Every structure is written in C-alpha cells, then in structure tokens.
Structure 1
Amino acid sequence: MNSKTENPVIMGLASQNSQLRGPVKASAGPGGGGPQTQTQMNQLKNISTINNGTQQQAQSMAATIKPGNEFEDYCLKRELLMGIFETGWEKPSPIQEESIPIALSGRDILARAKNGTGKNGAYLIPLLERQDLKKDNIQAMVIVPTRELALQVSQICIQVSKHMGGAKVMATTGGTNLPDDIMRLDDTVHVVIATPGRILDLIKKGAAKVDHVQMIVLDEADKLLSQDFVQIMEDIILTLPKNRQILLYSATFPLSVQKFMNSHLQIPYEIILMEELALKGVTQYYAYVTERQKVHCLNTLFSRLQINQSIIFCNSSQRVELLKHRNRVFHDFRNALCRNLVCTDLFTRGIDIQAVNVVINFDFPKLAETYLHRIGRSGHFGHLGLAINLITYDDCFNLKSIEEQLGREIKPIPSNIDKSLYVAEYHSEPAEDEKP
C-alpha cells in the first residue's frame, strides 16, 4: 500500500470488538457494582427532576454521573442483563457509556454518533429498564424513517427483552395492513417502534393511546425532521404528555433539528462522539473518472477488492418498487444471499449490516451528512471498512466542501489497497516487516 495512506486509529478501534457478537457472558445481578454502583444509582435518582432546574444546575448534576465500564454498573434488572449478554453485547460502547445513565435519569438527550456505534442499545437499554410491565399501556415509542429500520430495531428490542417476562414490543410501518395494527393494539403493548405517518394515523384513530408515554426516541433525527416528516413529528409530539422524555440520535444535526430541540427538549444533555467515531475504521479514497468510465471502474474494483458485502450508492431516485420486492431484496442482502446492493440513500438509512466492508459512491453526494450516512454502512463499531468515491469534474467542488466540513482529506485511490484496512482476517496478521 502507498506509505502515505495512514489510518492510525484502526489499531485502537479493532481492539474494542466488544459490541459485536462476542462470546456470551454469564449474566450478572443488578447489585454487581457494590457500594459505588449504589452511589451511582442514588445520583441518578437525584437528577430525575432536572428538567425543572436551570442550565447551571443541569451541568452540575450531570457532572456527577459517571459512565459505566460494565453493563452491571447501571443497576439494570437481572433479566435485562441476561438479554444484553445473549445479544452479544459484552461491554458498553462509547455512545452507550454516555447515553445510558443520562437516559435512566429521565433527562432529554441530543446525541450525535454515527450508525454502527451501538446507538440502538444506547436508547433501548434504558427504555426497557424503565418499563413497568404491570401496566398495560404504551410507555415508550421509537420513531424511525424507514420500514427496514423499524423491523431491525424491533428485532433487537425483542431479543434484548426476551427474559423480561411480558415486555410487549410492536413494530408498525406504512405499507402494511392498518386494520391488523389496530387489532394488535387491542392487546397489551409497552413499546411501539414505528414510522411517523403510521403511528400518527393510529393515534388519530384512537387505536394507539399515548397519554402514558414516558419516552420517545427519534432515531435518524435529521431525516425525521426533514421537510418530508417534520410536520408529522410536530403533530406526534403534541399528543404526548408534557413531561415526556425525548431522545434524539443521528449522525448529523442540521438547522431543522436545532429548531426542534429548542422547541421541545428541556435542557438536553448533549453527546457528541462524531470526532471520535465518524471516520474511525473507515479508509476513504476517491477515483477521478468521467461519467462514461464509472461502470468500467466499478468492474475493476469488484475484480481487485476482497468484498464481503458492498453497497453502491446512486443519487437518482429509482422507480418505486413493490413493497414485497423491496423487502425481498433487503432480506436477501441482509442474510448474505446476495453480496452487492445498489440503492439510494433512504433504502439503507440506519440499517446495521455487519458484513458490509465496502461502500462505493457511484454518484458522489452533495451534502456532508449524506456522505456520513453512506460511509456509516461500513466500519461499524469494532470493524474495518473501505469507502471509495467515483468523482467526476462536476463533483470536485462537493468533494472539497465535504473534506473541509469533516476535517479529513480523502486521498486518491492507490494502485493496490492494503487488505488489512478493510478485511478483518488480514488486519489480525502482523505486517510483513514485523514477521520473524
């Protein structure tokens, strides 16, 4: 590999492979932290009234909350801990260390962290811990922009809560049978994971009763608060109790998110991990081509790279596919029945597919937030990834702009790319000059 191509943070990140399907750890009781754990819990209880305080009080109280190095440190229910460990989560990721104790305290959160950093666990763990299973009403909602993300989050939630004995999780999205969802809500549901339009329909019809909702999570908040969804989100918030807790998670926070935060969040605790996590583990290159050379360049990349699975992003909107076909394509890709997925941004937004190690921007995006979401498909927490951008003359301005916004130079692609940068088994081997 070209000696100029450096990624000094990969070694450190690879050693943290704790979030991704490690050996199942024996479950531990909620008292495993000893006296220090009890102190932390008392601090969390004392901070529960923080929304009524001043900004100065909030900062002072927040300073007393210490991130936990182990899940046992948060005094979680034993049954929840069992689900966490069986899911393969061994230790809290950085976003989980920051989020879980704050969310348990009842405080609003504004978190900026890329996909694949353990973000789902950061809000699902405190959400489940705070459920009162003796009650039969909806206590928490997770709002996501796409059907695929709703299904993924609901699967994780069901897996983590499976030992809790009675936690009822329901996913509801557009494109499915509305009367069926109304019937399902006749039974007990504690957690609803939904797309915005569908949950608002259910609320307006009186099927989803949200007057006891304590927590609402906006995952991929920048998309949920874009022009397409922002009015729907405003309408949803108006139906909730005034003392509800709001958690916002996204890789980017444009002005629309700032406006929503100022209107609805009460002294939010801000978590910004993008500087640490946005580009760690992902090696980025560009190839300068003409429009006519793109397909040939793509074929060359396929022949030379060692790809587990790849996603190729295009800017142009595709013809709307039948929902059944769309689900089948995604299902096949997720289950490794196909290796390469060509799609637009919305299709994979927030989707966590661990096998993806290469992302190719066939069409280069115009916005930094779009670029971040795309390369977030590779290089997940503890994993390595490769992002290759096909750049035409017309893309040069956008390339420079995105480099400046991210504070990172995207280098020209070398003739040979070191496999240790994006293939796990090569990364674990010592370099040639280090071998005896």
Structure 2
Amino acid sequence: MATARTENVGPMVMGLNKQNGQLRGQNKPPAVQPAPQSQGKGLGALQKAGGAPQDGGGIKFGDDWKKSLLLPPKDNRVKTSDVTATKGNEFEDYCLKRELLMGIFEMGWEKPSPIQEESIPIALSGRDILARAKNGTGKSGAYLIPLLERIDLKKDHIQVHVVIATPGRILDLIKKGVAKVDRVQMIVMDEADKLLSQDFVVLIEDIISFLAKNRQILLYSATFPISVQKFMAKHLQKPYEINLMEELTLKGITQFYAYVTERQKVHCLNTLFSRLQINQSIIFCNSTQRVELLAKKITQLGYSCFYIHAKMMQEYRNRVFHDFRNGLCRNLVCTDLFTRGIDIQAVNVVINFDFPKNAETYLHRIGRSGRFGHLGLAINLITSEDRFNLKAIEEQLVTDIKPIPSSIDKSLYVAEYHSSAGDENRPF
C-alpha cells in the first residue's frame, strides 16, 4: 500500500549464518548475471527523482540535458505484446519535472508501457482510478511516476504518505498521531485485491476516514474480486476504469507439469536443475517447514540456495531478498510470502514444488518469471491429490498446462542478448 514521504534510513548490515535463509552447497554454481533493470522496479528505482540535480548539474535554458544522463546498458531481450502494444507515447509527453524524467531514463525506462500510458495522465489529472493489468507490466511505475510528480518538496507535511507497512501498523501510527494524514491528497493501493479482502478492508476503510475528503484513490491489481467492486462503489468518485486483461494468463510464460509421487519430488527437482538453463529460479512450497527442509535438501545435492518465509526475522528476509536480487545465489525457496510485488528480472524459471490450492495464488506465483514481457518457464510438480486443483486452475484461467516433455526448447525461456555491434550473442 502506498500512502508518504519518509526520512532517509541508513543501510542495514548483519551477519550471515545458516539460520538466516542463506544456505550454500558444496559446488557453487556460476555467478548469476542480473538482468538490466527495467520497468516495474518500484519506489527504489525512482527515489532520487524527487531530489535536486546532483554535483551542480543544474539545468540551464537551452541545455541538451539528455547528453548528461548515465544510461544503463540497453535491454535487447524479446518482449511480449503485454508491454510493447503501446500508443507510441513518450515519458516527455506528460510534462513531468525534469529531475523526474532524468531519474526515469537513468533507470533504463525508455518508453511508457500500456498500463503507464493509460494511467499516468489520468492520475495526474486528480481523478480516481481502478486499473487492472498483468503482473510485471509496469503497474508500479504507473502510479509512482504521477505520485512523485505531484509531491511538492516545499510543503512540510505528508502529501501522498509513502509508508511500507501492514494496514494495521499504518492505522496504529495514525491513531497515535505519529502519521498526520489529514492533508493527504492521494492514496494508492497496489495489489488491491489483497488489501480489500475480508482480512484488511475494515482497516483500509478506517484509514481512509482520517484522510482529506477530496482525496484521490488509485487501485491497481491483476485480479478484482467482488470485494473490490463494493469498495469502489462506496469510496471512489466516478473512477476511470482501465482493463488491460482480457484473460488472466501471462503471455511469455510457458507452463508444464510433471506427474510425480511425493517421494519423487526431490529427485525430479534435481533432474530439472541438471537439464534446464536456469538464470535464477524461485521454488514455492506450501509451508514454512517444507521451505527449510527443501532448502537443506537442495544444498545436500550440491546447489547453493537461499530460503525465505514469514517466520524469519524481517532483517534476515531483507538481506536474503537483497542478495538474491543482486545475483549472489541461483535458487530461492519460499512460501507465498514472495508472490506479490516482487520484481526480480533475472528470474526465468518458477517451480511449484507444492502445487497451490487456487488460481489466484498460481497466477501470482508464475508471474515472478517473465517480468515486463520477457520469457519465463513455470514447472509444476503434481501428485495424485493435486490433479483436481490442476484441472480447476486450468479452467478458471482458461489456460493449458501441458505435460513436461523430455527436452524443453531453450528459446521458450532463455533470452539471447546481442552486443551493440551485433556481432556477438550470449545466453542470458
């Protein structure tokens, strides 16, 4: 949930041990090369955009400011129509602050994605939005860019209130007077289907009651159950509706299943490791206990892996996520804690070691690969008890999860990079 400006926080440093989610096997795999950072990275990607130009690089009239940009390597991977089917708009078309534009381009964000084209001008106009778009297509940028544009650094009060916390914690800060939100003009709810579920909707409505009456509400999600519709009717004023999802499935992600017994799962996983060209993989289990047991098994097989789950201390979860994102390990075992709002573009393989119970969880899990329209692979280990859930999920998502072939075509999930001179190819 995005709702305030916060003070800068220093870096967190901690020791590493077997208990903090980082296990290392005997045979360390080759170092992972993280993908060039692209769209959908979230608030951290644009943090500096709200600040002043650096090192006296003030912009003078007539300056060719683009010449001074420090641009990352160009991302030449193949992308699906989820992010390429645009109207041809440019970020400069939205009359954004120069510093914000510089931050956008220096993160490698070249052109707006479809959800950003639809959302940014409407959000800047102050109108409420209900936006539905697939995971990994740039939803974060769709609201962060107008959010940063509308913040007035000269005003010393919470304007769009960027807090990273559970709704209960935010409400507690408000009631204690720590977070004064009476002048907040914008509230953004990412993963709105979760925030407006039965578990949180009462807290969200309580938070909204403390905001200015003319506040703007932006809702973003891949799925919108009936609970969201009820909230929209009650709290949104003539919202602008954006729907870029005719179906729930993700383009660019190839899905297979392997029919196994419970005792065969680890052997099957070992076989996948030996045959697939994995850049980075995320492996999902249905319980915290199974996460730790599987992580231990993987290290015994000789592979390095990290693990993460909700029962770990937050500081350890932060370190695991940071190090995995930076490519220090090839495999991550986790629970569904890791299914939402996580953007690691180097992940090209997702393995459901334990098959999920519902279509929504399945959709968010496989969405961790194939970020921002790139290619990805989803492998599901299916036991006899899972076959009914498999059929139900196929029907609900209108998709076909096929039996795994003896050999998987690498072009389905391994992107090829081309040098700028065009004379060299190397696998991602």
3-state secondary structure, aligned to 2:136: coil
Q: Which amino acid aligns with 1:228?
A: D
CA distance in 2, matches of 1:400, 1:290: 18
Residue 248 of structure 1: aligned partner: 219
Q: Of the candidates 97, 110, 115, which is equivalent to residue 130 of structure 2?
A: 110
Deviations 1:190-248 (A, max 9, x none): x4444322221111111111111111111111222233322221211111112111111
Tell me by how many angstroms 1:336 deviates.
Answer: 1.3
Correspondence for 1:327: 318
1:48-104 CA deviation, whole Å, 9 max, x = no partner? xxxxxxxxxxxxxxxxxx966111111112221111111111100111011111111
Maintained 8 Å contact 1:225/1:256: yes
CA distance 1:377–1:356, change in 2 (3 Å): same
Q: Which residue of 2 aligns with 1:265?
A: 236
CA distance in 2, matches of 1:136, 1:249: 28
The residue that corresponds to 2:365 in the other structure is: 374
Aligned residue in 2 for 1:227 = 198
Report the 3-state secondary structure (helix = DSSP H, G, I; strand = E; otherwise coil) of the residue aligned with 1:381: helix
Which of 372, 375, 384 aligns to 1:393? It is: 384
Moved over 4 A (4+): 28-31
Q: Secondary structure at the match of 1:140?
A: coil
Mapped contact 1:68–1:74 kept (Cα < 8 A): no
Q: 2:151 maps to what in 1?
A: 131
Code of the residue aligned with 1:403 in structure 2: it is: E
The equivalences for 1:22-421 within 5 A come to: 69-141=89-161, 191-275=162-246, 278-318=249-289, 320-421=311-412
More helix by share: 1
Q: Which amino acid aligns with 2:108?
A: G
8 Å CA contact 1:96–1:118 kept in 2: the answer is: yes
Task: Give the C-alpha shift of residue 345 in structure 1.
Answer: 0.8
Report the residue type matching 1:119 in the other structure. K
Out of 98-107 and 218-227, give the one that drifted further: 218-227
* TM-score, normalised relative to structure 2: 0.70
**Deviation for aligned residue 1:268:** 1.7
In 1, Cα distance between equivalents of 2:403 and 2:215: 49
Distance 1:322 1:76 in 2: 39
1:154-201 C-alpha deviation (Å, 9 max, x unpaired): xxxxxxxxxxxxxxxxxxxxxxxxxxxxxxxxxxxxx44443222211
Q: Is the 8 A contact 1:251 1:372 kept in 2?
A: no
- Residues 230 and 95 of structure 1: is their aligned pair in 2 closer, same or farther, counting only changes over 3 Å? same
CA distance in 1, matches of 2:272, 2:60: 50
The one-letter code matched in structure 1 to 2:271 is: T
Structure 1's unaligned 5+ residue stretches are: 1-16, 22-27, 32-65, 142-190, 429-436
- After TM superposition, the score normalised by the length of structure 1 is 0.69
Root mean square deviation, CA, Å: 2.7
Q: Which amino acid in the other structure matches residue 391 of structure 1?
A: I
How many residues get paired? 324
CA distance in 1, matches of 2:313, 2:271: 32
Structure 2 equivalent of residue 158 of structure 1: none
Query: Higher relative contact order at CA 8 Å, sep ≥6: structure 1 or structure 2?
Result: 2
